[in-house]
Structure 1
Amino acid sequence: MGVNTVEREGVSVSHPSRFILVGTMNPEEGELRPQLLDRFGLCVDVEGIRDLDQRVAIVEKRAVWEDDPNLFYQQHAESEQSVRGQIAEAIATVPEVTLPREILRLIAQISIALEVDGHRSDLVCARAAQAKAAYDSADEVGIDHVGDVAEMVFAHRVHSVPFGKGGPNLGEVISRMVGQA
């Protein structure tokens, strides 16, 4: 459990809290300051589906849901319950998943190679890899778990280099570092 502190006009109130901040943005409307971006643990870039069959399936499923939401729920209840169970199990077991020192070193090496400021990325990557390992029912965080979460952790923390002068390429650095470990 964390603590939420609200301060305004000389008044400060603190209370126990447990929440996750979820934000959305349209990159066409401008960039956020790096100090703010760093506060987001994970970042996912959502793009439209380009596969013809997947797009058709999306429209078909949406039509079933619009016609009969209960039928749609029944059709997907078993798979949804399976995922819910897997998530609940991961939440319960994540404290038991060990995080080897060599994995912490790998995470630090990725942060250094990507020229990421601060240490929040290292902490977030370690926690996310541990959560992914728990979701996969693993007893220990492995290199593959770091690879699975690294892009979500680092994508919004890598500095953009002005005038196309190059700089660390996220995908290449992660692939190289995970492949070498």
Structure 2
Amino acid sequence: MDKYLETKIPNFKIRFATEKDNKLILDFIKELADYEKLLHEVVATEEILHESLFVRKQAEVIIGEYNNEPVGFALFFHNFSTFLGRANLYLEDLYIRPEMRGLGLGKCLLSALGRIAVERNCGRLDWWCLDWNESSIKFYKKMGAIPMDEWTVYRVQGEALKNLSEELN
């Protein structure tokens, strides 16, 4: 993707985040978490994000700007499909500020991720969506996304993750 990706929506462009966007990314994460009623779970800091995104390069971020003002973001990374034998893009978070919703900006961010996936020869683009988020589910299905109802997400974290890591000893 060039420095800016012009979109079909006048005055809306998309760019890759840089280190100077670190605080903005954290603000977007907190806004999204608040919307999802999960703000109490956010432990990320500017320092943690800087290390993860710009030093270790564990994920990437694109920023959507409307009239040169940041209004949304998408954070993504590569995972791998053994069945396809190649990488995929995994969308961790996509967020558009409430006052900017309904203009097609989220669709543009998702489309940009689709372009990145195709340019990088990824097999697919995956993400999760909370079951109660009916407006997002409707939006995703309209774009051709299919729910993976036959799969259950599992997670090991905190003390359970520490205990699991010690099973090798």
Q: Name the TM tier (shorter chain).
A: under 0.3
TM-score w.r.t. the length of structure 2 is 0.23
TM-score w.r.t. the length of structure 1 is 0.22
Higher relative contact order (CA 8 A, sep 6+): 1
The structure with more radius of gyration? 1
